[in-house]
A and B are shown apart, each in its own frame.
Chain A
Amino acid sequence: MTATNHTATQHLLDMQNVSIVFGGLRAVSNVNLYIDQGELIGLIGPNGAGKTTAFNMITGVYVPTEGNIYFDGKLVNGKKSYQVTKMGMARTFQNIRLFSELSVIDNVKIAMNMHIQYNLPEAILRVKKYFTQEEEVTKRALDLLKLFHLEQHADEMAKNLPYGAQRRLEIARALATEPKLLLLDEPAAGMNPQETKELMEMIRWIRDNFHIAILLIEHDMGLVMGVCERIYVLEYGFCIASGTPDEIKHNKRVIKAYLGGEAS
């Protein structure tokens, strides 16, 4: 665990003693977690450990009952989801949430909305600014789709894509917001070993190409151990361990949490 200090730090993301209480349930208790620029961090734990709840607090869906979350030196607590996204965080969902009845390229364009400068009258009257910006957005969206091998599907409806492509599109869409931190909620869910392996390479490639930090929630141990530099382990809302994959593999409490039985 990192030493706790109750001020904004130089970390990109800093959760300081964060807890959240739902009625009588302490879903997340006193969690300390930090991520630096360009790091690839894993968040693991058994079902119901509070991983997604932690995610939801970081991204502004829930407000922590106690503790503070800082991103880029600014307080996240109480910010709405769209404001958090504007600060430079983007996420994907455990159960894919695409704009399914819209085209693939529109999915990406929507994520670029906050970088568009023209206002409503300018859009209605179609001034030059509208055309230049629309052209640029279309071009950038296509470039992004190319990187994810989706350009041939650009005009298809998102719901008609195969499952793996939908996952890729969700990541591409998140990247279109130009985040500093990308949060992936179980990206390997429903994937076979081969696809998981490709995903692993893709995650690393995203980090290196886009120069961003990534926080990964995952059940697939192979994926997390293979790709993350540091790992946090949650159990019943408590952070029971953190460290490099090797340290985590040999941590008795983690083994106990996952396999049950006595830690000796």
Chain B
Amino acid sequence: MNSLRKADLKAFVAAAVIFAVIYGLLQAEVIGAFWELNLVLIGINIILATSLNMINGYTGQFSIGHAGFLAVGAYVGAIMTVKLGFNMAVALIAGTAAAGLLGFLVGLPTLRLNGDYLAIATLGLGEIIRICILNIDYVGGAAGLMGIPRLTSFPLVFWIMVAILFFIKNFKNSAHGRACLAIRENEIAADTMGIDTTKYKVMAFTLGAAFAGTAGVLFSHYFFIAHPASFTFMRSFDILTMVVLGGLGSMTGSVTGAIVLTFISAALADFPQWRMIIYSLTMIILMLYRPQGLFGSKELSMQLFRSLKIGGKKQ
């Protein structure tokens, strides 16, 4: 019990150190505006990837409509601040709740589907959300919702991200998380072990959608605008790619995937003609040589390092 709390404390200290270093570099203007923007984007992408990992990686339900929930969060949050004049806290709560509620309502019927069918349903859902937004004049339609104040800052993104990572980590290590893993491994067996599979599938889907909503609020309040074109199914695939790259079912994998892909994409910003080529080559090489993703379903932890060391010595 104490060792678990100690591990949490260590992780928290590590997060604080990382924050202090990056924040110091930002304040000293060693990191310029371009990379600051990308740091915020990395934070947002980490939230998106880890929340999608709860659905696809832990629970094994193949959802590819995450950009839809991102859009709901982005727009609901923006409506709160731009149209209704609330502050950022209200926007965050409203965006998260709205995306979560939608996830819940959509999850109830669609999570009865499996595999390909669920993928198609969620893909459709993402597009439906985008096209609805496109046709609502209240939020600007195709022109997008403009004039959103920049209320998102690097510290805000960072600490919300840390909080969500803690949430997801603790979720996985609880009875609820184990129930989700059991569904991924064998749904029939999970059912016979007394697990209400529908309940846990909907729970993971709702939580994942809600966190995507949080990311959406942060997103629209950093880039001044919420535009339907930012939430196409290509965005969903981006998030999915991060999860698969890191390894389905590994939270630290999703974090790494989000960092690596956002970084590659930013580093190649000056060579737009090469960007997609390198991006795709990375994916092809990965799928050929490591189809389970960088980490498989394992978590990156000090324990893993130790076991690797011991394993190395034995050999």
> In the complex, are the beta carbons of B194 and A124 less than 8 A apart?
no
> In the complex, are the beta carbons of B1 and A131 less than 8 A apart?
yes
Interface size (B, Cβ < 8 Å)? 30
Interface readout for B172-190 with A: 1 if CB under 8 Å, 0 if not? 0011111101100110111
Residues in B with CB closer than 8 Å to A102 are 181-182, 185
Residues in B with CB closer than 8 Å to A86 are 194
> In the complex, are the beta carbons of A82 and B196 less than 8 A apart?
yes
B203 within 8 A of partner (CB): yes
Query: For chain A, which range describes its interface: under 10, 10 to 19, 20 to 34, or 35 or more residues?
Result: 35 or more
A81 within 8 A of partner (CB): yes
Cα A116 to Cα B173 with chains together (Å): 13
Of A32-40, A89-97, A229-237, the one contacting chain B is A89-97
A49 within 8 A of partner (CB): no
B4 within 8 A of partner (CB): yes
Residues in B with CB closer than 8 Å to A173 are 193
Closest chain B residue to A126 by CB distance?
B170
Cα A116 to Cα B181 with chains together (Å): 16
Of A14-22, A103-111, A203-211, the one contacting chain B is A103-111
| Residue with the highest number of chain A CB atoms closer than 10 Å, among B8, B179, B189 | B189
Cα A131 to Cα B192 with chains together (Å): 26
A123 within 8 A of partner (CB): yes
B297 within 8 A of partner (CB): yes
Inter-chain residue pair count (beta carbon < 8 A): 97
**A→B interface (CB under 8 Å):** 59, 80-82, 85-86, 90-91, 93, 97-102, 106, 109-111, 113-114, 116, 118, 120, 123-126, 130-132, 134-135, 137, 173, 177
| Residue with the highest number of chain A CB atoms closer than 10 Å, among B8, B176, B178, B193 | B193
Closest chain B residue to A91 by CB distance?
B192
> In the complex, are the beta carbons of A124 and B188 less than 8 A apart?
no
**Interchain Cβ contacts under 8 Å between A and B, 19 examples:** A59-B192, A81-B188, A82-B192, A85-B192, A85-B193, A85-B194, A90-B193, A93-B189, A99-B186, A100-B186, A102-B181, A109-B178, A111-B193, A111-B194, A118-B174, A123-B171, A123-B176, A135-B1, A173-B193
Cα A91 to Cα B194 with chains together (Å): 11
B137 within 8 A of partner (CB): no
Closest chain A residue to B172 by CB distance?
A123
Residues in A with CB closer than 8 Å to B175 are 109, 113, 116, 118, 123, 137
Residues in A with CB closer than 8 Å to B185 are 98-102
Across the interface, A90 reaches (CB within 8 A) one of B166, B167, B192, namely B192
Residues in A with CB closer than 8 Å to B186 are 97-100
Interface readout for B92-129 with A: 1 if CB under 8 Å, 0 if not? 00000000000000000000000000000000000000
Interface readout for B1-36 with A: 1 if CB under 8 Å, 0 if not? 100110010000000000000000000000000000
Across the interface, B176 reaches (CB within 8 A) one of A81, A120, A131, namely A120
Closest chain A residue to B200 by CB distance?
A113
| Residue with the highest number of chain B CB atoms closer than 10 Å, among A123, A130, A131, A135 | A123
CB distance from B187 to the nearest CB of A (A): 10
Cα A4 to Cα B74 with chains together (Å): 64
- In the A-B complex, list the 10 residue pairs whose CB atoms are closest, starting with the nearest: A123-B174, A99-B185, A85-B194, A97-B189, A114-B194, A131-B1, A81-B191, A116-B175, A111-B193, A110-B182
> In the complex, are the beta carbons of A106 and B203 less than 8 A apart?
no
> In the complex, are the beta carbons of B167 and A81 less than 8 A apart?
no
> In the complex, are the beta carbons of B1 and A99 less than 8 A apart?
no
> In the complex, are the beta carbons of A81 and B170 less than 8 A apart?
no
> In the complex, are the beta carbons of A82 and B182 less than 8 A apart?
no
Given A82-B196, A110-B190: A99 and B181 interface contact (C-beta under 8 Å):
yes
Interface readout for B193-206 with A: 1 if CB under 8 Å, 0 if not? 11111000001000
CB distance from B256 to the nearest CB of A (A): 20
CB distance from B167 to the nearest CB of A (A): 5
Cα A118 to Cα B297 with chains together (Å): 26
Residues in A with CB closer than 8 Å to B195 are 82, 110, 113-114
